[in-house]
Amino acid sequence: MKIYDVAVIGGGSAGVMAAIRTVLNNDECLFFPGNSNHKKKSRAFWVTTVENMPAHLGYKKGIEEPNKISLDWLSTSAFSSKFHWHKNRGIISLSQSSEGIFSLTDDKGYVYHARYVILCTGVMDVQPKINDSIEPVFQYANTQLIDYCLRCDGHHVLDKKVAIIGHSSSSAWVGIMLHERYNCPEMTILTNGETPTFDDESKALMARYGFKIVTEKIRSIVGNGKLKKLESFVTDSTSTNVDIAFVALGMIVYNELAKMVSAELDQRGFVVTDTKGKTSVEGLYVAGDLRANAKKQIYTAWDHAVDAADEINILIRRKKRTTPSHLS
């Protein structure tokens, strides 16, 4: 039975960096970036222009394009024999033997074995439903008139009329932060038919800053995403004029594989790790948005991935020190 050093599951920001670091550490790496279904449900797929990081402005698909360039290079580099890129393959099951070896089954039924796994399956932002469908937001999300990530795209609201779609305290704090930082002339919280659960401090600040709160369901969005124009959100009795909106409804966490090996999760479903990404399961590391208590950006995903791959390399090298030379 062939046992690889490391299996990297996920091909977004964290997964690609985990694969690069593992291979450049000269450890043998299986790489499963996911099938088209996984990709469409990933955050990486929906990212267009990346403005909050140097050297990314030239890409129309700010994560996927540079990732592909690096993977293509890796697969022709001096380290290519260490890189096993299973294109369009996703992992559907993960288990661990009593000796600590992981078994991974891909979506075609093939089984692989690895001593270490770096899990990078990510999360997805919850989408608002308008007349029971998430489709109406897509044309605006694709042109960044509806945004999700504060650190990535918060600066888009400078001097703009803004709506936040959400009903929790976190949604209120998104609005407060954007208003305080960027001087938005109008801020509306659209709870889209949900009962607000704002805390007292956010309620007081929203009142002080003159936020409008609309609790009716959104019936339609007026504008044209392709023409980069968002005009208003319409409910039964109101129409809220906006230039841009943020969605703050929480995240769907892709933790299924972590659950299969009983990794510890936090209350929201993110995988609990130490500072190097090590989970409660020996040999299982997590990098990127899936990790608990971490920022959810490209550069943090990269940092997690490097830490995990380097930590694994330390363990592999330590083992070499004690393995009789005729067996290594």
Ligand X SMILES: Cc1cc2nc3c(=O)[nH]c(=O)nc-3n(C[C@H](O)[C@H](O)[C@H](O)COP(=O)(O)OP(=O)(O)OC[C@H]3O[C@@H](n4cnc5c(N)ncnc54)[C@H](O)[C@@H]3O)c2cc1C
Least distance to ligand X from the beta carbon of 127, Å? 10
Report the distance separating Cα 173 and Cα 236, nearest Å. 26
CB 242 to ligand X: min, Å: 18
| Cα dihedral across residues 147, 151, 153, 157: positive or negative | positive
Nearer to ligand X, 14 or 249 (CB): 14
Minimum CB separation of residue 116 from ligand X in Å reads: 16
Helices 13-24, 298-322: inter-axial angle, 10-degree rounding: 30
At 266, is the secondary structure helix, strand, or coil?
A: coil
Taking the CA atoms of 157, 162, 163 and 167 in sequence, report the sign of the dihedral they define: positive
Give the total residue count for the chain: 328
Of 158 and 207, nearer to ligand X (C-beta) is: 158
Q: How far apart are CA 134 and CA 131, in angstroms?
A: 8
Token code pair at residue 123: 């999360």
Nearer to ligand X, 187 or 290 (CB): 290
Residue 222: count of CB within 10 angstroms of its CB: 14
CB of 309 to ligand X, least distance (A): 13
What are the strands of the beta sheet with 239-241, ordered from one edge?
220-224, 229-234, 239-241
Residue 142: CB minimum distance to ligand X, A: 9
Closer CB to ligand X, 69 or 204, in the complex: 69
Question: Least distance in Å: CB of 84 to ligand X?
Answer: 14
Give residues in contact with ligand X (CB under 6 A).
9-15, 32-34, 38-39, 42-44, 46-47, 50, 52-53, 63, 90-91, 120-122, 125, 148-149, 152, 254, 288-290, 296-299, 301
Q: From CA 104, how far away is CA 49, in angstroms rounded?
A: 34
**CB closer to ligand X out of 55 and 78:** 55
Distance (Å, rounded) from C-alpha 214 to C-alpha 196?
10
Residue with Cβ nearer ligand X (12 or 225): 12
Under DSSP, is residue 39 helix (H, G, I), strand (E, B) or coil? Answer: helix
Which residue carries 């000796």 as its tokens?
99
The alpha carbon torsion through 223, 251, 150, 188 (nearest 10 deg) reads 50
189 versus 308: smaller Cβ distance to ligand X: 308
Amino acid of residue 162: V
CB of 11 to ligand X, least distance (A): 4
